[in-house]
Structure 1
Amino acid sequence: MSNPAIYSLTPITFRLDLKDPFIFTAHHIDHFPEGNSQLGPNTPAEQKEFSMYYGDIVPGFPEHPHTGFETITLVEQGTVDHFDSLGNGGRYGAGDVQWLSTGSGVEHCEMFPLLHEHQPNPFELFQIWFNSSPAQKKAPPDYKMFWREDIPHVYETDDSGLTADVRVISGQFKDTAAISRPPNSWAAPSENRVNIYLITLPPHAALTVPATTARSNRFGYFYQGSTLSIEDQQIQRKYLAELKPDSDIRLQAGYSEARILWMEGEPIGEDVAMRGPFVMNTVQELDDAFRRYRATRFGEWPWSNPAPVFDRKQPRFASYDGGKREEYPEEPEKNAV
């Protein structure tokens, strides 16, 4: 690679393979049609550009277990219904982020209800699989909603008067800090410098991302736009760049708006043993985790079926403490997804 700021460039179709403390990121894009009365597609999947994933009626991922890592789900378009074995549930939509620490083990489901009956239901989300330290893998599971109304934005104007928008999901961008992460997260302490941004550049706009530490791993995924210049090297859409962490990095959009998912953080520095939805440090720990799951199911599934969804008119919300406490991003009657 001739550019010293760019360590590697990888074309992406779906999965972004990353480095410690990140595991990988999945980028889901689906062109769902109008929804039917059951919140599923009114057209067979084979006739459209979408996947049902593991759902039969509603697309999504029915009841399944996780342990030993975190899922950070950034929704750009569409709706997600969440249910878990702790008795919590919630609905979140475009612009919202869910941060789930799976810790010692949890079952959950993520379904993608198609709320619009008379128009298409475009869908796009990123799900970042983010590792946990050995101590955090033993902690109780926990999750937190970052509502779009609360996520901080930084607006940076370049020398041409064009303004970039940086959504600060984790960590800090210059003087602007993100919402606090769940406490048992490698991303919670500021010294781990886990910065996750969603960057939007208007056509031809430029933005400089400040340096982090030499130990950090740093990635930029250019997922929407015509072209993007990284330190004067032009790259194409749907490329993942591994970048020099301890240098300022200048980005500039091409002739159309550019969007970039930016991820960087200090490594945990532990061995990773991964088998399906379980991420531990050794094979023995994986075997123990699977035995524990077979014995306990990480708690009884409290819902009537493995792929529940809420009513079409349910506003965005989250429940905590086994469903005893509810949180809404705004007044429910005003809260349309």
Structure 2
Amino acid sequence: MTGSLADSSTRSVVAFHAARREDIGDLVTYQAMPVAGVPFDRFEPFLFLNHHGPQVYPMHNKGLPFAPHPHRGFETVTFILQGDLIHKDTSGYESHIKAGGIQWMTAGSGVLHSELSSEEFKRNGGPLEILQLWVNLPARLKMTEPDYVGLQKEDIHRDMADNGKVLIDKLPERDLTDVRLFELILKKGANLIRMVPAEMSVFFYVVRGEVLVNGKRTNGRHLVEFANDGERIDIQAATDAFVLFGYGTPNHEPVVAHGPFVMNTREEIEEAIRDYQAGKFGHFLT
């Protein structure tokens, strides 16, 4: 981050966008991105956000419904706030991430993966809340080798601000792009100022609670849209709150999306479909 409080202007808030309820079977789901009526690439490189839960699963439940499925051309960042997540993919990565942990998967050239609940969770039930964010890759990296990082809560770097009123969980920096992501846990009355270069896109999603951002009030399950006219972002917590915050440089390239594939042209989407059908993403062994 660059700039100082003295010489940097405040970013204008363009709009607040409420996440839309779009359940997946018995999984409570709110879709915050893409935003209806807003160009798909408005927040680029941030493309898609599903907010699953919060809800309480009963005993002997079926768990998460995300059986093996393909991806190409982007990254997925998954925040496990409550419950757990069993990840397995055709690049050989496996993990069991528990509450408070995260996983960051680079789909790149193509991968099949599953995201399911553990047998323990399916047997005992309990609270579940998970968020998944899609981050676009530039054209030069669309076909990069798949990669994966899974971290438990205790492995994530945490800072404090405003005399302990703000906890900042910093996700690991990835070498591919300049995208940076943070979980902000704010106590009522907390104040946090962050500086982001004006040319970068800001990702700001209020998971729960009520905050004032650059003087404007919003609450849980709302995405904030900013203009690219300043660097300063001033966050004040009107209640205890939890915010996902990040920033990255837009690619300024065409974005063509079709289901689980995000590429730059329709021809590349058709190629991705053919490659998937031909088994080039690998074969999933259960």
State the TM-score, normalizing by the size of structure 1: 0.72
Change (3 A) 1:89 1:162: closer
Where in structure 1 do 4 or more consecutive aligned residues deviate above 6 Å? Answer: none
**Deviations, residues 223-274 of structure 1 (Å, cap 9, x unaligned):** 211x2112222223322111345322211111x3111111211111211111
Q: Is residue 218–residue 244 contact of structure 1 (8 Å, CA) maintained in 2? A: no
Residue of structure 2 in register with 1:233 after alignment: 216
Q: Distance in 2 between matches of 1:249 and 1:107?
A: 38
Distance 1:135 1:117, change over 3 A: closer
* Structure 1 residue 224 corresponds to structure 2 residue 212: no
Q: 1:162 to 1:30 in 2, by over 3 A?
A: closer
Q: What does residue 225 of structure 2 align with?
A: 242
Matching residue within 146, 152, 157 for 1:147: 152
Q: Matches of residues 308-319 of structure 1 in structure 2 within 5 Å?
A: none
Aligned to 2:110: 105
Aligned pairs (5 A) from 1:165-314: 165-169=167-171, 179-181=172-174, 183=175, 185-186=176-177, 192=178, 194-209=179-194, 211-225=195-209, 227-244=210-227, 246-254=230-238, 256-303=239-286
Unaligned runs of 5+ in 2: 1-9, 21-29, 35-42
Distance 2:99 2:233 in 1: 28
| 1:11 partner amino acid | A
Distance in 2 of aligned mates of 1:117 and 1:66: 26
CA distance in 2, matches of 1:275, 1:117: 31
| Higher strand residue share | 2
Structure 1's 291 and 4: CA in aligned 2 closer, same or farther, altered over 3 A? closer
Partner AA of 1:204 in structure 2: G
Tell me the SS of whatever aligns to 2:283: coil
Match of 1:22 in 2: 46
Structure exhibiting the larger radius of gyration computed from Cα positions: 1
User: SS in structure 2 opposite 1:291?
Assistant: helix
Q: Which runs of 5+ in 1 are unaligned?
A: 42-56, 170-178, 187-191, 304-337
Q: How many residues align?
A: 259
The answer to whether the 8 A contact 2:63-2:122 is kept is no
Q: Per-residue deviation at 1:147?
A: 2.7
- Identity of matched residues, %: 29
Counterpart of 1:77, as a letter, is Q
1:18-50 C-alpha deviation (Å, 9 max, x unpaired) = 6111111111114233432xxxx1xxxxxxxxx
Residues 122-154 of structure 1 show CA distances to partners (whole Å, capped at 9, x for unaligned) of: 111111111112221112211111332121112
Query: What residue identity is the alignment partner of 1:273?
Result: V
Q: Please tell me whether residue 90 in structure 1 is matched to residue 95 in structure 2.
A: yes
- C-alpha contact 1:72 1:129 (8 A) present in aligned 2: yes
1:138 aligns with 2:149: no
What secondary structure does 1:288 align onto? helix
Tell me the distance in 1 between the aligned counterparts of 2:98 and 2:161. 26
Is 1:9–2:30 an aligned residue pair?
no
Partners of 1:117 and 1:16 in 2: how far apart?
Answer: 27
Counterpart CA distance in 2 for 1:109 and 1:291 is 20
Distance in 1, Cα, partners of 2:91 & 2:123:
35
Q: Structure 2: how far apart are the matches of 1:156 and 1:118?
A: 40
